[in-house]
Amino acid sequence: MYAYEPSTACFEALVCGCPIIYLPNDLLLPTRFEGYLGSDGSAWGADLSLIEAAKKNVHLAAEKYEEKKHIFWEQLENFVEITQDRSSKNRINRSALGELPPQDISIEKYRHWLESRNQVLTDAASHLHLEPIPEDALPSFQLFIRLNPGDETRLADTLDSLMQISGHWLLEIITTLPSPEGLDEIPCIRWHTVSANAESKAVIDQLAETQNADWLIELPAGAKLDQFYLWRCTKQIQYTPDALAFFVDDDCCNEKGVRFSPRFKPGVNPTSLQSSDLAGPICVRRDAWLATDGASHHPGSPWFSKLLGISGKFGWDSIKHIPDVLITYPDAFPSHTESCVLTLVQEFQDRGIECEIVPVSGRSWCIRHPLNQPPSISVAILTTGQLDLLSRCLTSVVEKTDYPNFEIIIALTNEYGAPDLDIWLKKLDELNKPKVRLVLTGATGNHAARCNAAAASSSSEFVLFLKEESVVIQGKWLYELVRSGTQTGISGVSPRLIQPGNAMIENTGSILGLRGIATSPYQGKVKLGEELGYLDYCHVARDVSTLTAACMLIRRESFLRAGGMDEIDLGNHLAEIDFCLKLRKNGERLVYQPLSTIVSSNPKEALFDLDPSHVSRLAMDEDHSKKILSKRWYPVAAVDPFWNPALSLAETIPTPELEFHARWQRIPTHLPRILANQLPNGQGDYRIVSPLRALSKAGMASECLWPQRIKGEARYNSISEIARLNPDSIVVQHYITTPALAALNEWDSSGCRPFTVYSLDDLITDMDEKNPMRKGVPANARARLQYALKRCDRLVVSTDFLAETYRTFVSDIKVVPNRLEQGQWINLRNLRRTSKKPRIGWAGGSSHHSDLVLLQTVIEQTRDQADWIFFGMCPPEIRPLLAEYHRIVRFSDYPAYLASLNLDLAVAPLAQTAFNRGKSNLRLLDYGILGIPVVCTDIDPYRNSPACRVNNTVAEWTEAIRARIHDPDAREREGDSMRRWVLDGYLLENHLAEWLEAHLPG
């Protein structure tokens, strides 16, 4: 077929076996067109030799089409399976639940998180590596349920969950219902019938007094305890023996088993826990239970009164949070808001504290305290001399603020040098109510210096630091902040910030480590009034670790006691975080109060200095401040106690972390903890995944496996994520790209990274030109590798050749050979002599194209005497010579599939290149464990093995293969030797201590 340009008709002709001759013309591309089927069967011009070549290889186009068609149907089936499954699950979810509130975590994301979490726990239980607890150290648990008539079915669900739990527990059921038959035969369940519900408290108190259990818990009927609930409580008791109470995360479940609405709680957050029934059922030590008036008088949410009683009598430090979903409720969390509010008001009254409850939603509220004697306040407006921002801010404070006892301080850097500002400032003397004063800092003054100067000049009880880009919009904004700030133990308060013009959330209380040093959830994502946020986050007051620099109310006494702000190292960047951390170190609390809202833009938007030297200096100052803060406060500045460890630090909208799950977060342990960011391929599996999983099974280490992204935007652990995981070592693999090197540099610059191991399995600085993987390796790989290794503690390689090559790059190098996972290989059998002709095979991927050059002639000379089988990749010129070709399979299926080929002989050719000299003997191990004899190239990685090694000449290869074709007994003896060689030295489980030692400090 003749054509002037590529078209669909040309494609159809090739599939039908008709060659295409593209005639030269002005519109034809100057170079050969590589279409969907490649260039086989096409002549780019009318030259007779090109036409003849097209006729000879046109059949390859049809073969490629068949291959692609086969792959297409596999992909389509997979697509249909996934989408139909997803659709089915979504239909169940929607029909069962309706539409979840927009602030809730999606069912799909939560399902994904649960699957990963449950897999970790299932593996741990099946391998019996839940650290054993001595029998004499097992605490006893007494559980109470006040059963209302009609809740019998829910009680059955609770009993079902309890029967899966081992340990010393006793369930006490208090109800007006008669005892069912046969219950007396169950020793761990007791039924107590009362004449009226009002008698329940007295019965529970008597049972708690007489049973003498170590820990007591009151549960609602229907609550399902996770099978690890009591185990986790027991471990927590061991780790924190001074704790008096524990609460856990929880979720809900519908009648079809779909779990939803997880409550990933913000730790022991006093203000949050007082502002909703957030803690849920708490596990209380017996002496603390008895010391706080026993069971609650209120049958609704009885655990809430215990929480308040224990915190009021023993302090919040006596309560601990176990961050794992360990209780599930039917349909919805059984909170009784009215009982909670009555209990809260009564608790405050008993302590002589007045309060007003401000409803937020049906499940939460804010607490407003009266101000009988409003304390004096100095409102310090912090300005860089931008008159338009300063005048707007001052005007809003003066006109909007409804507060009887405050002055205004304008804190300004000296030598501001603006005539209009000077005139404006002189007019301030005319203001009497409120009084306005000007405070100047030195010529080099910065934000921290302005705060310090304002505090030093103030004689008020409180100082409110307000940046000039802020605008007051409420009359009672200051009142609301002071109400919280005057409470015992609280030294600082910040309001909710919204952005100008659009009312988008700017700050709802920053979280340390969120998307960097600190960021506010929902920043720029949600408009005020559109939604409440996760667990009513945007509208409920809570304790925070740091206040926003835009507006913070601080007790002046606390400010001075903490030494003020650091104007030397953190002047314009992060001084407020450093200061807040000093306050918290002094035992003082900080609170976010959404009853007060002001407008404030991102401070960087107020800076418009485009001078390159100024911008550069600003960036350098910010980088310097980050390093100082990290070295001064790591890990405190990186791990926020009020952000649940199950929530991602990469998302500003609360979302469960889906990309990595540390085993030790679910299973507390004293074993070595290793965080790995491995390649998502065979290299990652052989070098990192298989060893770590084997170590975990053996009870020698606990792992967190996080495969690197190969699609989409790369993501690497931030220093905050590392601090939160707190591993003993980090293992990184082939970090060579710019984002990967940036992550290494961030860790190293923090000055407090864990022990870091660089794992390398290839000579990436000298890759063959024809290696397809070379496209993903930067041309300056050598310089990049050196850069990476300077920021790591150790290099672990697979061969002596790699160790010697990179000896000058890093001082600490260890060689850990590749080995096979016993469970994957040991029971596989490769059958021999299954066909008339010996079966000779090769297995490998696309990177081996250049290694197979000489094999074509060898196959041509031996194919009449043996059947050749390729598995994985096959060059098109070799494909017609094969008896069988098997496409690549999933990595997990590879061992069994290789064994199923029943090879009598295997070949492992490698071109004599530096890159191949650095390779490992892994392919020989794969063949050897199956007892397959091998002919291979005589090259570094294959020496010291029983394989037949030959030089890369057609004569030597052909001679060695023919010798084994004609002497099956001898070749099978070689296969037996190969298997013994692997069993004696290359089974992973026999060398776990070696791998572990190489990847831990020391």
CA 378/CA 437 separation, integer angstroms = 10
Say yes or no: 249 and 348 in one domain.
yes
Per-residue pLDDT for 3 more than 90?
no
Closest CA to 408 of 475, 473, 468, 484: 468
Domain containing 806 equals: 663-814
Domain with residue 236: its CATH number is: 3.90.550.10
Give pLDDT tens digits for 49-106.
788 888 888 888 877 776 666 555 555 555 444 444 443 443 333 333 334 445 689 9
Say yes or no: 49 and 140 in one domain.
no
What's the pLDDT at 63? 73
Lowest mean pLDDT among 54-63, 257-266, 275-284, 467-476: 54-63
Tokens read off for 987: 């089974």
Say yes or no: 808 and 854 in one domain.
no
The backbone region for 835, taken as left when phi is positive above 0, alpha when psi lies in -120 to 50, beta otherwise, is beta
Q: Evaluate whether 381 touches 447 at the Cβ level (below 8 Å).
A: no
Say yes or no: 770 and 737 in one domain.
yes
Domain assignment present for residue 156? The answer is yes
Q: Evaluate whether 364 touches 469 at the Cβ level (below 8 Å).
A: no
What's the pLDDT at 30? 62
Per-residue pLDDT for 372 more than 70?
yes
Q: Evaluate whether 457 touches 437 at the Cβ level (below 8 Å).
A: yes
CA 467/CA 984 separation, integer angstroms = 71
CA 681/CA 689 separation, integer angstroms = 10
Number of neighbours of residue 661 by Cβ within 10 angstroms: 20
Say yes or no: 323 and 411 in one domain.
no
Say yes or no: 351 and 415 in one domain.
no
Q: Where are the beta strands (DSSP E) in 64-200?
A: 140-147, 168-175, 189-193
Say yes or no: 197 and 322 in one domain.
yes
- The last residue of a domain, from among 44, 65, 86: 65
Domain assignment present for residue 124? The answer is no
Domain assignment present for residue 460? The answer is yes
Domain assignment present for residue 550? The answer is yes
What's the pLDDT at 379? 98
CA 189/CA 185 separation, integer angstroms = 9
Say yes or no: 384 and 308 in one domain.
no
What's the pLDDT at 183? 81
- Looking up tokens 């976010």, which residue turns up? 592
Per-residue pLDDT for 468 more than 50?
yes
Closest CA to 917 of 937, 945, 947, 934: 937
Domain assignment present for residue 176? The answer is yes
CA 231/CA 669 separation, integer angstroms = 12
What's the pLDDT at 914? 95
Residues in the chain: 1002
- Looking up tokens 């300063």, which residue turns up? 390
Percentage of the chain modeled with pLDDT above 70 = 93
- List, in order, residues 6 or more apart from 315 with CB less than 8 Å away: none
Lowest mean pLDDT among 478-487, 615-624, 811-820, 866-875: 615-624
Provide the pLDDT confidence category of residue 38 given band limits of 50, 70 and 90: confident
3-state secondary structure of 550: coil
Q: Evaluate whether 155 touches 172 at the Cβ level (below 8 Å).
A: no
Structural domain total, the chain: 5
What's the pLDDT at 970? 97
Number of neighbours of residue 785 by Cβ within 10 angstroms: 23
- Looking up tokens 């004569």, which residue turns up? 955
- Looking up tokens 């005539």, which residue turns up? 419
Report angle CA 675, 676, 680 to the nearest 5 degrees.
Answer: 150
3-state secondary structure of 246: strand
pLDDT average, residue stretch 819-848:
94
Say yes or no: 403 and 334 in one domain.
no
Say yes or no: 361 and 387 in one domain.
no
Domain assignment present for residue 78? The answer is no
pLDDT average, residue stretch 658-678:
94
Whole-model pTM above 0.95?
A: no
Report angle CA 170, 175, 180 to the nearest 5 degrees.
Answer: 75
- The last residue of a domain, from among 633, 652, 676: 633
- List, in order, residues 6 or more apart from 225 with CB less than 8 Å away: 158, 161, 162, 165, 219, 326, 327
- Looking up tokens 């946020």, which residue turns up? 533
Say yes or no: 779 and 798 in one domain.
yes
Lowest mean pLDDT among 132-136, 347-351, 873-877: 132-136
Give pLDDT tens digits for 501-539.
999 999 999 999 999 999 999 999 999 988 899 999 999
Say yes or no: 963 and 845 in one domain.
yes
CA 552/CA 547 separation, integer angstroms = 6
CA 422/CA 434 separation, integer angstroms = 20
Per-residue pLDDT for 153 more than 70?
yes
Tokens read off for 687: 């070098």
What's the pLDDT at 420? 85
Give pLDDT tens digits for 296-326.
999 999 999 999 999 999 999 999 999 999 9
Tokens read off for 276: 């909703």
Per-residue pLDDT for 436 more than 90?
yes
Tokens read off for 662: 């540390």
Q: Please give the torsion angle defined by the CA atoms of residues 722, 724, 727 and 728, in that order, rounded to the nearest 10 degrees.
A: 100
Of 714 and 65, the structure prediction assigns the larger pLDDT to 714
The DSSP code for 987 is B
* Axis-axis angle for helices 48-97, 8-15 (nearest 10): 100
- Looking up tokens 């001078």, which residue turns up? 611
What's the pLDDT at 89? 40
Report angle CA 323, 328, 334 to the nearest 5 degrees.
Answer: 105
What's the pLDDT at 7? 77
CA 570/CA 624 separation, integer angstroms = 8
- The last residue of a domain, from among 612, 633, 654: 633
Tokens read off for 449: 């210096």
Domain with residue 728: its CATH number is: 3.40.50.2000
Cα 772 to Cα 33, 710, 769, 775, 777: the distances in Å are 20, 15, 8, 6, 10
Give pLDDT tens digits for 976-994.
999 999 999 999 999 999 9
Provide the pLDDT confidence category of residue 33 given band limits of 50, 70 and 90: low
The DSSP code for 24 is P
Report angle CA 146, 149, 152 to the nearest 5 degrees.
Answer: 80
3-state secondary structure of 410: strand
CA 925/CA 818 separation, integer angstroms = 9
Cα 385 to Cα 417, 430, 463, 967: the distances in Å are 9, 20, 21, 93
